[in-house]
Amino acid sequence: MWQLGHIGLVRVCMDAGTMTSGELSREQVIRAGLNYERVQAHQERIVAALTSGRETTLPIVGACTTSNGAVIPWKTLVRFAEGERLTSAQRRARRAAFHYWCRQHLGTFIPAAGAASRFLASLQRFLQDVNQQVPELNECCLRFFNLTQHIDPIANRSKRLDSLALLSAIPLSSEIKVIPQLLADWGNTETCKDFSSLANVLEIFFTDGREIEHGPMNNSSGIEHDNSTDGMLESNHWRIHWDNEIYGKSVAHDETTSKGKEVHWLEALQSQPPTEARNQSKRLRRDLTEKERLALRCYAAAYVLIHRFSGHPKALVPTTGEGDSFLFLKLVEQIALLPSSVSVYVAPFQQSTQFKAEIESGRQKLIRQAQNVFDLAGTPFAPDWLKPTNQRATGDFTILEQGLDLCTLRFNEDGTAVLADDGSYSSVAAGHGELLNLFPDIAAQWPNLECLHIRNIDNVVGTQQERQQELSAVAETFRLLRDTMEFLRAEVEDFIPTCRSSNNNDKLKNPQAITALKFLAQLIPTAAQGQIFSASMASISMTNGLTVEDFQRVLGNLYHWQPLPENLSVFAKWDWLQQQLARPLSVFGVVRKEVGDVGGGPVFAQLPDGTHVKICLEMPHASKEDAQEYFGNKGRATHFNPVLVFFELRTHQRSHTQNPRSGRIVQPGQLFDEHFWLLARKEFKGRKVCYHETVLYELIGNSARTNVLFVEVPRTLFRPHKTLLDSLGQDRRSYGFDETLKGEE
pLDDT digits (tens, 9 = 90+) for 570-589: 889 999 999 999 999 999 99
Opening angle at CA 185, ends 179 and 190, nearest 5: 95
Residues in the chain: 745
Using one digit for the tens of pLDDT, what is the confidence trace for 500-523?
A: 776 667 899 899 999 999 999 999
CA atoms within 13 A on the CB side of 489: 23
The answer to whether residue 412 scores a pLDDT higher than 80 is yes
Using one digit for the tens of pLDDT, what is the confidence trace for 589-630?
A: 999 998 888 889 999 999 988 999 999 999 989 999 999 999
**Model pLDDT, residue 660:** 54
**Model pLDDT, residue 273:** 53
Q: Where are the alpha helices (DSSP H) in 53-156?
A: 74-82, 88-105, 121-133, 135-144
pLDDT bucket at 662, cuts 50 / 70 / 90: low
Taking residues 207-219, report their average pLDDT.
Answer: 52
**Model pLDDT, residue 248:** 36
pLDDT bucket at 219, cuts 50 / 70 / 90: very low
CB-count burial class (<10 Å; 0-12, 13-18, 19+) for 707: buried
257 CB-near residues (< 8 Å, 6+ apart): none
pLDDT bucket at 241, cuts 50 / 70 / 90: very low
* Mean per-residue pLDDT over the chain, rounded: 81
390 or 735: whose pLDDT is higher? 735
pTM: 0.84
Query: Are residues 671 and 436 in contact, defined by beta-carbon separation less than 8 angstroms?
Result: yes
Could you give the CA distance from residue 693 to residue 113 in angstroms, rounded to a whole number?
A: 16
The answer to whether residue 106 scores a pLDDT higher than 80 is yes
Using one digit for the tens of pLDDT, what is the confidence trace for 698-711?
A: 999 999 999 999 99
What is the distance, to the nearest Å, from the Cα of residue 203 to the centroid of all Cα atoms in its chain?
38
Could you give the CA distance from residue 676 to residue 653 in angstroms, rounded to a whole number?
A: 28
Opening angle at CA 744, ends 743 and 745, nearest 5: 115
Query: Are residues 308 and 220 in contact, defined by beta-carbon separation less than 8 angstroms?
Result: yes
Could you give the CA distance from residue 501 to residue 407 in angstroms, rounded to a whole number?
A: 49
**Where exactly are the structural domains of the chain?**
121-309
Going along 319-386, which residue ranges are E strands? 342-348
Opening angle at CA 602, ends 106 and 344, nearest 5: 25
Using one digit for the tens of pLDDT, what is the confidence trace for 440-472?
A: 999 999 988 999 999 999 999 999 999 999 999
11 or 114: whose pLDDT is higher? 114
Could you give the CA distance from residue 253 to residue 250 in angstroms, rounded to a whole number?
A: 9
Query: Are residues 288 and 296 in contact, defined by beta-carbon separation less than 8 angstroms?
Result: yes
**Phi, psi at 497, each rounded to 5°:** -60, -40
Could you give the CA distance from residue 635 to residue 312 in angstroms, rounded to a whole number?
A: 34
Beta bridge partners of 428: 408
pLDDT bucket at 22, cuts 50 / 70 / 90: confident
Taking residues 153-158, report their average pLDDT.
Answer: 57
CA proximity to 703, closest of 9, 58, 29: 58
Query: Are residues 682 and 689 in contact, defined by beta-carbon separation less than 8 angstroms?
Result: yes
The answer to whether residue 726 scores a pLDDT higher than 50 is yes
Question: Distance of CA 13 to CAs 25, 26, 27, 36, Å?
Answer: 12, 13, 16, 16
614 CB-near residues (< 8 Å, 6+ apart): 64, 70, 560, 602, 603, 604, 702, 703, 708, 710
CA atoms within 13 A on the CB side of 260: 6
The three state secondary structure string of 377-444 is: CCCCCCCHHHCCCCCCCCCEEEEEEECHHHEEECECCCCCECECCCCCECEEECCHHHHHHHHHHHHH
**Model pLDDT, residue 671:** 93
Query: Are residues 621 and 455 in contact, defined by beta-carbon separation less than 8 angstroms?
Result: no
